[in-house]
Amino acid sequence: MFFFYQRKLAAAWFFAIWLGFNLLGALSGAMGVDYAAHIGGFLIGLGIGLATKEKIWEANPLVRLINSDFAQIKRT
């Protein structure tokens, strides 16, 4: 029998939990998964995203609008 539980979760929390599981796996020495590659890929992707954010926003005004406070859904 399987039970599934779903809940809204901000992307930052999802990635923090994901990173925590990968760090735990890397520190525990679990075999079969290259946790260092997962962590490295996450950090490189995060760095590229942060480095190119302004350039992407300048080239795509709609992306800037969608990410503005004006267009954000207020969660309670």
In-domain check, residue 3 = no
| DSSP code at position 53 | H
**pLDDT of 70:** 80
Q: What is the pLDDT of residues 29-63, one digit of tens each?
A: 877 778 889 899 999 999 999 999 989 888 988 88
Of the pLDDT bands very low, low, confident and very high (cuts 50, 70, 90), residue 20 is: very high
- 73, part of any domain: yes
Task: Supply 36's token pair.
Answer: 């260092």
**Closest listed residue to residue 35, CA positions, set 45, 25, 43:** 25
Classify residue 24: in a domain, yes or no: no
Q: What is the CA radius of gyration of the chain?
A: 17
Question: In the 8-state DSSP scheme, what is residue 29?
Answer: T
Cα 42 versus chain centre, distance: 8
pTM listed for this prediction: 0.65
**Band of pLDDT at residue 72, cut at 50, 70 and 90:** confident
Note whether residue 41 is domain-resident.
yes
Per the structure, the count of domains in the chain is 1
